[in-house]
């Protein structure tokens, strides 16, 4: 008999999501407008330092809107973390702009400040100053924001802070997504909380957020008929999805606590395997530990892919770390700056099941399989 499937990161509902969704149905607010959407944005603002929020259909659409609001257009260049999911980079191409990929540093696995400044200097030398920076907080771990903000201010290049994986994480007490010009969250089904599918754009500039809401509802001008003076998008989050989000926000800290417990369990239980290492927090960096990740040493008897397949054979889902964007077929012709840090992380890194809804039995089963793999 096949063992129960253990997913990498599956949705985890609380007690009130169904209640709020039922309210939306009872009130017939089945549209991308309504009281639950308004309340969701208010509650999200409360945990985002009171910043203005536009709830949208995905983290990707939030990045796209941020690029539009920053005036990114055809022929511009945008600096972007290479070690990330393609959704961070795709909106750059939507705008006809050129992504310039920046390698990671190995303390946080996020964008390297050193390589970022190197890239900016070289692009300026070549006659084109980049117009924006898309910085990603990977797996919930904060990037080195002080250093990156210093570079951003020095060259007057705005930052879009991709905190799709970082809701609930903080950098010296500040929530990720709230540290720079724009922030984005994702509420995809595999994230720490979910609205089924959804995202949010964050800014302290209320005028920008109001414009994002306008653009995300097809840019309909104030008129009794449909009048359009701007290109718009169908990006607004639905009221029903927002109702799910209201219930999820109530349990956010519980989900963060549980995922950190999962990380600590793995780290304690696997500490005797010298070939496995974990990414530790720097002082002042607080990670939600969205996914627990490990690195397998180069001299290990079992490699990342062998371990992944060994777990898969027992119906346990794990996944390689992100394949860097500069290695992807669709992006490999674009400029990139740095060493081979992200390539190394991809080759030797693995994401372990990290869901907040996993049982102790699930965790013990995973740990025992990993131990077995290294004992063989």
- Of 251, 283, 317, which closes a domain? 251
- Of 251, 285, 311, which closes a domain? 251
Instruction: Check residue 320 and give its pLDDT.
Output: 98
How many domains does the structure of the chain reveal?
Answer: 2
* Collapsed DSSP state (helix, strand, coil) of residue 89: coil
Instruction: Check residue 187 and give its pLDDT.
Output: 98
Structural domain contains residue 112 = yes
CATH code for position 160: 3.40.640.10
Distance from C-alpha of 317 to C-alpha of 190, rounded to nearest angstrom: 13
Structural domain contains residue 52 = yes
The CA distances from residue 59 to 192, 199, 350, in Å, are 14, 4, 23
Structural domain contains residue 4 = no
Same domain, 287 and 241: no
Q: Torsion-angle region of residue 64: left (phi > 0), alpha (psi -120 to 50) or beta?
A: alpha
Q: What is the gyration radius of the CA atoms in the chain, in angstroms? A: 21
Same domain, 197 and 66: yes
Instruction: Check residue 213 and give its pLDDT.
Output: 97
Q: What is the DSSP string of 118-170?
A: HHHHHHHHTT----EEEEE-GGGPPP-HHHHHHHHHHHT--EEEE-TT-TT-E
Same domain, 52 and 27: yes
Same domain, 79 and 209: yes
Same domain, 181 and 171: yes
Instruction: Check residue 376 and give its pLDDT.
Output: 72
Distance from C-alpha of 53 to C-alpha of 210, rounded to nearest angstrom: 9
Q: Torsion-angle region of residue 49: left (phi > 0), alpha (psi -120 to 50) or beta?
A: left
Same domain, 152 and 257: no
**E-strand stretches of the chain:** 52-56, 77-81, 98-102, 132-136, 159-162, 170-171, 174-175, 182-186, 199-203, 276-278, 285-286, 292-296, 319-320, 336-337, 349-352
292: which strand partners? 352
Same domain, 153 and 115: yes
Structural domain contains residue 217 = yes
The tokens for 216 are 């995300």
Structural domain contains residue 35 = yes
CATH code for position 302: 3.90.1150.10
207-210 LR contacts (CB < 8 Å, sep 24+): 208/52, 208/69, 208/182, 209/52, 209/53, 209/54, 210/52
Structural domain contains residue 321 = yes
Check: CB of residue 10 under 8 Å from CB of residue 357: yes
Instruction: Check residue 240 and give its pLDDT.
Output: 98
Same domain, 58 and 157: yes
Which residues contact residue 17 at a Cβ distance below 8 angstroms, ignoring those fewer than 6 apart? 243, 244, 246, 247, 248
Structural domain contains residue 274 = yes
Same domain, 178 and 74: yes
| pLDDT by 10-residue block (mean), the chain, 376 residues | 92 97 96 95 98 98 98 98 98 98 98 98 98 98 98 98 98 98 97 97 98 96 93 97 98 98 98 97 98 97 97 98 98 96 98 98 98 92
Same domain, 205 and 285: no
Same domain, 320 and 245: no
Instruction: Check residue 198 and give its pLDDT.
Output: 97
What is the domain extent for residue 220? Answer: 17-251
- Of 227, 251, 275, which closes a domain? 251
Structural domain contains residue 3 = no
pTM of the model: 0.97
Same domain, 24 and 148: yes
How far, in whole angstroms, is CA 95 from its chain's centroid? Answer: 21
């Amino acid at each position: 008999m096949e063992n129960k499937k253990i997913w990498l990161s599956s949705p985890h509902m609380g007690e009130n999501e169904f209640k709020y969704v039922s309210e939306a149905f009872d009130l017939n607010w089945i549209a991308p407008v309504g009281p639950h959407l308004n309340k969701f944005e208010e509650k999200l603002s409360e945990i985002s330092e009171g910043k203005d929020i536009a709830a949208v259909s995905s983290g990707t659409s939030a990045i796209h809107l941020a690029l539009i609001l920053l005036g990114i257009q055809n022929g511009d260049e945008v600096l972007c973390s290479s070690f990330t999911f393609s959704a961070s980079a795709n909106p750059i191409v939507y705008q006809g702009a050129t992504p310039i990929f920046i390698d990671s540093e190995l303390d946080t696995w996020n964008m390297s400040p050193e390589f970022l400044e190197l890239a900016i200097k070289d692009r300026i030398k070549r006659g084109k100053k980049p117009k924006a920076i898309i910085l990603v907080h990977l797996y919930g771990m904060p990037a080195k924001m002080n250093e990156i903000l210093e570079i951003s201010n020095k060259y007057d290049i705005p930052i879009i802070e991709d905190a799709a994986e970082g809701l609930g994480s903080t950098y010296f007490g500040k929530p990720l997504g709230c540290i720079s010009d724009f922030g984005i969250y994702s509420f995809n089904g595999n994230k720490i909380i979910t609205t089924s599918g959804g995202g949010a754009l964050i800014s302290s500039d209320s005028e920008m957020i109001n414009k994002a809401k306008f653009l995300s509802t097809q840019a309909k001008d104030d008129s009794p008929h449909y009048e359009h003076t701007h290109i718009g998008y169908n990006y607004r989050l639905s009221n029903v999805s927002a109702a799910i989000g209201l219930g999820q926000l109530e349990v956010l800290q519980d989900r963060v606590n549980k995922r950190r417990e999962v990380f600590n369990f793995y780290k304690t239980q696997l500490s005797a395997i010298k070939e496995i290492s974990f990414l530790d927090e720097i002082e002042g960096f607080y990670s939600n530990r969205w996914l627990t990740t490990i690195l397998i040493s180069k001299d290990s008897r079992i490699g990342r892919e062998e371990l992944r397949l060994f777990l898969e054979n027992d119906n346990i889902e794990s996944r390689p770390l992100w394949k860097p964007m500069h290695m992807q077929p669709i992006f490999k012709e674009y400029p990139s700056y740095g060493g081979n840090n992200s390539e190394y992380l991809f080759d030797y890194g693995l994401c372990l099941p990290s869901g907040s809804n996993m049982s102790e039995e699930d965790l013990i089963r995973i740990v025992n399989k990993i131990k077995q793999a290294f004992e063989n």
